[in-house]
Structures are given as C-alpha cells and as structure tokens.
Amino acid sequence: MEEIATPAHFIDLELENGAHDYHPIPVVLERGEGVYLWDVEGKKYFDFLSAYSAVNQGHCHPRIVSALKNQAETLTLTSRAFHNNKLRSYMKYVTDYFNFERLLPSNTGAEAVEAAIKICRKWGYTVKGIPENKAEIIVCSQNFHGRTSTIISFSSDPGSKTNFGPHAKGFITIPYNDIESLEAVLETHPNIAGFLVEPIQGEAGVYTPDDDFISKARILCTEFNVLLLADEIQTGIGRTGSLLAVCGSCNCEGHCEQQQQTYVRPDILILGKAISGGTYPVSAVLCDSKLMDVIQPGQHGSTFGGNPMACSVAMEALEVIRDEKLTQNARRLGNLFRAEMQAFVKESTIVTQVRGRGLLNAIVINDTEESKTAWDICIKLKENGLLAKPTHGNIIRFAPPLVMTEDQLMACISIITTTLKSFEPKQS
C-alpha cells in the first residue's frame, strides 16, 4: 500500500535536510489562488499574511503568471554583461510609475537595502564631502531591513545579531517616531549621510508612527543636507491603502497622484516583495540621477538583477495594482477591518489594541512577549481556516491579499473574533 505523505512527513524532511532558521506555523501548503491557500491534505485557508505582504495581488494571479510563462519561454537571463530587450522598458515603466528618474534592479529586499546604503554613503563622500570612512546613517530602534551582515549590525533584535559579529560601524540608532531625537543627532553629528526608515514598522508589530513623523523627518533631512531613505519593501505597492506608505492617508481614486497635502517624497525609495506579486524575486532602488549617478560600472551589480523574467513579471504586477484598483480596495477594507476589530477590543480582555493602515494591521495580545498565547491563537486560527503568524511574541500581524472582497473579509473577521473569544478568561 502506497504511503500517504502527511504534513508531518514534509515537516520532518525539512527539519532533516534544511537549516533551522525559521519557526513556521505547522501547515504544509501546496496550492494558492487569490486569497486562498490549500494544504497537502486539501484543507482550504484564508491567507492573512500574504507572504509578509509579497502577495498583494493574490496568489497565482493569472495575468502575472502568464507574463512569467511567456517570458520563460523566450529569454530568462542574460546577466548585465549584455543588454536585453526588457530591462529598459521595465526601468522606464517603474520610474514613471513612482516618479523617479533612475532604477537600480535587484532581487531581494535585503539586497536592495544594501544597495541603497552604498548609494547613500557614496553620495555622502563624493557630493556632500564627508571625510572618507566617516559617513554615518541614522536608523530606528526595532527596525527590520533584512538579515545581511551589514543590516544586522544596526538591528535591535538580539537574536539577529548575537554571535554574528564583528558588526559594521557607521550607524546611529534613535527611537522610532521620535522627531526630537532625529533632530538632536542631526545637530550634533556633522557626518550624517542619510536617515533609513520604515514609514510603518511591519516586523515590529505594525507600529504606525504619528501622521507627521515622516513629513517632519523630510524637512529635517532637507535642512541638514541628509538623504531620506524609505524602506517600503513591506509597506509599498498598495498595502497601506496608498500606493506607498509615504503617501500618508491619501484619497487617490485611481493611480497615485502624490497629493501635496499627504505625500512625502524620499530621496531613495526601496521596493521589493509585492513589486512582483510574490511570483518571482524582484526588488528595486529608485532615486533621481544626481544620486544614482554616483554608482559607476564595476562598483555594484547583480547577475540576476534586471533579468527579463523579473522585468516582465514586475511590470504586469504593477499593472494589476493599478487596473484592479487594489490600493483603493485596501484602504476601504482596512478601515472596515479596524472598525470591526475596535468594536471587539472594547469588549475583549484578550486583545488590548488594534493598529495599522490599509490592509497592514496587527492586534496586541494581552500577555507578555515571552508567552505562548499569540502563537496558540495562531494555531487555533489555522484550525479554523485562517493563516496568520505572531511577531514580537504577543503581536499578531494581519495582512491579507489586496484582492480580498468585503464578504471574504467579514468571514475572516468572524473567524478571528470567534477564535479570540475562545481565549478569553473563563468567568467564575
């Protein structure tokens, strides 16, 4: 009799043959479509994580998959040793889409952050006139920009950096959402090249700053001749109900209008994840010529960066965002989600707070970061047909695909609230 491959079978094999660098929810997925995922036993789930906001356009969007297939049958990779017929079209499309002059193509979010740091430092030396090897970049506590050796050097997470030193120098950490601290560092440190910031901190638990934090940071950076670097890898591409989180709480009805009253233009924009709809690894650094031109041939590169498949997939993924008005859908459903959850919180003792913007939201569980409560809730959510995952111990992030309908969202809210109620303390 043929042995049936159970979820435990797949998990055990992964543990046997793979690095133990993740602690996933114990579910083994084999198929996705839109807002749904199916496991190897055929059970259907609502996806409420979207691969950490990479699958904004929904799983296996037919237009994006078609673009991938068509390009895969034609030309996949040339490296940057030669030109290809897709790269210029991609660069032109994306720079016009976000209103920047130049694009540096990469593959992963962390890779794009590393590239942005290099551009920032090179500009600091060659344009601003910072003495060699003295450039500093301001970052925020509880940040998450990836896990490369450079990036973990300015991480607040001990697990990310302990026993991985020596760590890179040249970074100054300030509290997030603290404009006074930013100003104080800028006033006392003459060698600041840039301020690297997430407009909303996703991994920290969807920590949403004051509405004017980014705009005030923009003013200060301009005043002190410092570059503002916006890491929108997780928050960008419609997730927050605006095309970018630096757009603020806009009311654009079509494509991004970069509305003067809300939009804050960074000097360097870092994108990843949803720029490909989760179909292929794509990331990008965007800025104007005066910054990008500090990088010359031989000073930065990527064999796969800007490959034809990435270019084709990314253009179609961005088209889907615009054509299906997914940004606007995220705004509308996000408002509904928070309103419904806020009503629940008022009567709840297990949840203390709901926060977020658009369809990037989180709830804070009434327990310590060291407790298992949030994890146990996510396990129960899985059993009830919805997939989510804790962050920082007692926070659960909720980020469904932006193609979700109102009926689907209300069904998910019902699952979430019913599950949470089962964890409420029993009345004596």
CA dist., res. 63 & res. 261, Å (int): 34
Phi, psi of 297 (to 5 degrees): -50, 135
Question: Do residues 405 and 383 lie in contact, with contact meaning Cβ atoms separated by under 8 Å?
Answer: no
Question: Do residues 125 and 92 lie in contact, with contact meaning Cβ atoms separated by under 8 Å?
Answer: no
Q: Catalytic annotation on 273?
A: yes
CA dist., res. 151 & res. 98, Å (int): 25
CA separation (Å) from 389 to 226, 339, 340, 393?
36, 21, 20, 10
Q: Where are the alpha helices (DSSP H) in 124-253?
A: 149-152, 158-161, 179-188, 213-223
CA dist., res. 421 & res. 418, Å (int): 5
Q: Catalytic annotation on 46?
A: no
CA dist., res. 143 & res. 109, Å (int): 14
Other Cβ atoms less than 10 A from the Cβ of 180: the count is 10
- Amino acid at position 77, single letter: L
Q: What residues pair up with 286 in beta bridges, in sequence order?
A: 103, 269
Catalytic choice (213, 231, 304, 389):
231
Strands (E) across 48-93 are located at none
CA dist., res. 416 & res. 340, Å (int): 11
Q: Catalytic annotation on 304?
A: no
CA dist., res. 41 & res. 5, Å (int): 9
Exposed/middle/buried for residue 67 (C-beta within 10 Å: 0-12, 13-18, 19+): buried
Catalytic choice (273, 304, 382, 389):
273
- Amino acid at position 343, single letter: A
Catalytic choice (48, 98, 100, 144):
144
Exposed/middle/buried for residue 216 (C-beta within 10 Å: 0-12, 13-18, 19+): middle
Q: What residues pair up with 139 in beta bridges, in sequence order?
A: 173
CA separation (Å) from 253 to 94, 257, 327?
20, 9, 9
- Amino acid at position 383, single letter: E
- Active site positions, annotated: 144, 231, 273
